[in-house]
Amino acid sequence: MRTKLIKSLFSTAVAYTLLTGCASIDVSAVARPGTDFSKYHTYSYFSPLGTDKKQGTESILTSNLKEYVNREMQARGFTLTNTKPQLLVNLNTNITQETYETTSFFPAPTYGVSGYYGYRYGLYDGFGGAYTTIRNYDNGTLNIDLVDTSANQLIWEGVAQADVTGQNLSSLLPLIDQAVAKTFTKLPTPITSPAAPAKSAQ
């Protein structure tokens, strides 16, 4: 009974960790030192983008990504243009299989323990133990690059990562939307107007 209870509690804890982990998005960003972001006002996109690879073909993923990026860029005062843009945006996604290992320890019942282990009372101490669980999962990565067109230099890179195990494109789009929004919070350009909700092209 005691063993079943411990395993049940452990399973519940693991399930909670995995469920909350699936919903989390980790973001990071790096900017070229000395860059004055206030001098940039216009942008466009590389063609093809890293998410398409092939010239002249725009995937559903790319179409949605551009919509999410447009929302965030324009909320920060940038204007989309095809005429000599100051910045070019490149996008890329990748999925790799990762391994996540956790170990949980439980303490040893002591010499004076009562309850289930009361039969040991006054006789001897028990010992503790640990449960280790190993989980394989699909780690999705989104890269957003901003490139200065005049210098042909990367000036900012934003990266978002999340567990995307078992998801298809339709279920991923809301997560990707959140990832783009969260990544742009790292861009050193303040929001000048509220960002309108993006409409996914599914």
Residue-wise pLDDT tens digits, 81-113: 999 999 999 999 987 766 656 666 556 555 555
> Residue 193 domain-assigned?
no
pLDDT band at 25 (very low <50, low <70, confident <90, very high): very high
200 within some domain: no
Residue 48 domain flag: yes
pLDDT in tens, 145-188: 999 999 999 999 999 999 888 888 788 899 999 999 999 999 99
Contact 74, 198 (CB under 8 A): no
Distance CA 22, CA 162 (A): 7
Inside any domain, residue 192? no
Is 29 inside a domain boundary? yes
Residue 57: give its domain's CATH number. Answer: 3.30.160.670
Query: What is the domain count for the chain?
Result: 1
121 in a structural domain: yes
Structure tokens at 116: 């289930």
Instruction: Return the exposure string of 48-78: e unless at least 16 CB atoms fall within 10 Å of the residue's CB, then b.
Output: bbebbeeeeeeeebbebbbebbbbbbbbbeb
Would you say 149 and 100 are in contact if contact means Cβ atoms under 8 Å apart?
no
Residue 14 has pLDDT above 80, yes or no: no
Q: Is residue 194 part of a domain?
A: no
**Binning pLDDT at 50, 70 and 90, where does residue 11 land?**
very low
Domain that holds residue 29: 2-184
Within a domain: residue 147? yes
Helices 60-75/169-184 angle, 10° precision: 20
Q: Is the per-residue pLDDT at 42 higher than 90?
A: yes
Average pLDDT over residues 55-76: 93
